[in-house]
Amino acid sequence: MALIVQKYGGTSVGSTERIRDVARRIARFRREGHQLVVVVSAMSGETNRLLALARDLSPDPDPRELDVVAATGEQVTIGLLAIALHSMGLKARSYTGAQVRILTDSAFTKARILAIDEANMRADLDAGCIVIVAGFQGVDGEGNITTLGRGGSDTSGVALAAALHADECQIYTDVDGVYTTDPRIVPEARRLARLTFEEMLEMSSLGSKVLQIRSVEFAGKYRVKLRVLSSFEDPEATSSGTLITFEEDDVMEQAIISGIAFNRDEAKISVMGVEDRPGIAYAILGPVAATNIDVDMIVQNIGASGHTDFSFTVNRTEYEQAMEVLLRERGTAFKAREIIGDNRICKVSVVGIGMRSHVGLASKMFKTLADEGINIQMISTSEIKISVVIDEKYLELAVRMLHRAFELEKEPVPSTA
C-alpha cells in the first residue's frame, strides 16, 4: 500500500465523461489498496472563460478579485469528481485550497505556497476516504483566496505530495510521458522511462510543456518522485509513463543526451558597440528588469578597441516593450552604436545529464547544424545543456537533424557501471 498523489490537468477533466474516466482510474488504484490524494485543474477552457469575463469588465482586473473568479474553476471540478466517486460507491471528500488549508503569501495571481495543513487529509485517508483537492489555489493569512498562476495545479500536487511524504506524485496529462523531443516534429521521438530533475528542468524551461517548471523545482527541493502519465489511456491499463527522479543512480539507461528541447516564444535583442566597462551589463539590463521583463539567455562577446556587443533574449510577448525601454535609455544609461531586435528566432537545446562526463558534444551539435547550412546566432551552455539561437524557420529541420545525430530514436544501452 502506497500513498499516492495524483494530479489531473484540464483536458483530463474536460467533460463529465472524462471526469468519469478519471474516477474509474482512481477506483482502480483504490482497489489495489493505495491511499489517494487527487489534485485537479479546472475543466479545460474554463479558466480562459472566467478570465475573459473579468477582462471584459476591466483591461487590468484587480488581482485579488481575479483570483476569486479564477479559483471557481477548480472548485467545480473537485465537487464533480467527488460526486462521480460517490456514485461508484467510493468514499471521497473535496477540499478547496482554503479548506485544506494551503497557506500562501498574498501575491494574488502568482502566490507561493508557504505551508500545508495535513491534519484533515490525514484523517480522511486513515478513514479510507479519497481526498480531492482543488489545484492552483490557496488562501493567504487573512483568508483571501489566492491562485498560484498558470499551471499551478502541478505545483499544488507536488506540494501536497511533499507535505504528506507521499510515495509518488503522478501527473496525468494528455501525453504519456516525456519524449526525447516533440513527436509532432520528429515522429521517431521516444518516450523516456526515467529522467533526472535537472534534465527535466532544462526540458521544461526550454519549452517541453509537460510540467510546470516551478513544480519540478519544488519536487527536486523536497525530493518528491514525480511520474508523468497519460490520462487518455484505458483507466484499467497500467502504464509507467516517465519517472522524474532525484536519484541519478535511478537513471538506469545512461544516455549521454536525453532530449532535444526547443522554444519559439523568444525574441533576440542585440545592443551593438557598447563601452566594454564594468557595470555595462547592469546599465543595459537593469532598466529591462525594472520593467518586469524576464531575460533568458545573455551573451556578451569579448570586445575590441574598448567596445563590445551584448545580446539577450526575452519572451516574444515582451519584445516590443523591451525594445522601447532600451531605445529610451540609450544615451543616458548607456551608449550604443546600434540596437537590433529580431523576434523571428528560436532556441534549440541539447539536454543530458551525461554531458557532464562527455566532451565533444557541443562540436557535434554545431557540425550538425553547419551541415544543414543553419547559422548559429547565439550560444549558451550549462552543465547539462547546450542551447543555440537560430532563425525560426530552421526550427523543425534543426530538431530533426539533432535528434538523428544523437541517435535518440534508439533505446540506450543499459550502463554497465
Contacting a second copy within 267-326 (CB under 8 A)? none
**At its nearest, how many Å lie between a second copy and the CB of residue 64?**
8
39 binds a second copy (CB under 8 A): no
Site string for a second copy, 114-153 (x = CB under 8 A): -----------------------------xxx--------
User: Is the separation of the CB atoms in 16 and 79 below 8 Å?
Assistant: no
Specify the pairing of strand 242-245 against strand 226-230: antiparallel
- CA–CA distances in Å: residue 148 to residues 174, 189, 338, 341, 403: 21, 32, 40, 32, 35
333 binds a second copy (CB under 8 A): no
Binding residue for a second copy, selected from 76, 256, 298, 376, defined by CB under 8 A: 76
**At its nearest, how many Å lie between a second copy and the CB of residue 20?**
7
Vertex 171: Cα angle to 168 and 172 (nearest 5): 130
**Which range touches a second copy (CB under 8 A), out of 50-58, 298-306, 392-400, 407-415?**
50-58
Instruction: Name which of 303, 297, 225, 232 is nearest 5 in CA terms.
Output: 225
Estimate to the nearest angstrom the gap between the alpha carbon of 206 and the chain centroid. Answer: 9
Binding residue for a second copy, selected from 99, 230, 254, 377, defined by CB under 8 A: 99
**At its nearest, how many Å lie between a second copy and the CB of residue 63?**
10
Binding residue for a second copy, selected from 37, 38, 40, 78, defined by CB under 8 A: 78
Q: Which is nearer to a second copy, 53 or 289 (CB)?
A: 53
**At its nearest, how many Å lie between a second copy and the CB of residue 60?**
8
Query: In the block, which residue shows the cell 495524483?
Result: 6
Binding residue for a second copy, selected from 39, 80, 162, 195, defined by CB under 8 A: 80
Binding residue for a second copy, selected from 54, 256, 333, 397, defined by CB under 8 A: 54
**At its nearest, how many Å lie between a second copy and the CB of residue 187?**
37
111 binds a second copy (CB under 8 A): no
Neighbouring CB atoms inside 10 A of 168's CB total: 16
Give strand ranges (E) for 148-286.
Answer: 168-173, 194-196, 226-230, 242-245, 259-263, 266-275
Tell whether omega for the bond before 356 is within 30 degrees of 0, i.e. cis: no
Instruction: Name which of 395, 396, 405 is nearest 366 in CA terms.
Output: 405
C-alpha span between 83 and 13 (Å, rounded)? 13
50 binds a second copy (CB under 8 A): yes
Contacting a second copy within 3-22 (CB under 8 A)? 16, 19-20
104 binds a second copy (CB under 8 A): no
193 binds a second copy (CB under 8 A): no
Estimate to the nearest angstrom the gap between the alpha carbon of 264 and the chain centroid. Answer: 15
**At its nearest, how many Å lie between a second copy and the CB of residue 137?**
12
C-alpha span between 82 and 130 (Å, rounded)? 9
**At its nearest, how many Å lie between a second copy and the CB of residue 36?**
16
User: Is the separation of the CB atoms in 286 and 270 below 8 Å?
Assistant: no
First to last CA, the chain: 32
65 binds a second copy (CB under 8 A): yes
With CB under 8 A, what is the number of residues at the site for a second copy? 38
Residue ranges that bind a second copy, judged by CB under 8 A: 16, 19-20, 50, 53-54, 56-58, 60-62, 64-69, 71-72, 75-76, 78-80, 82-84, 86-87, 93-94, 96, 98-99, 143-145
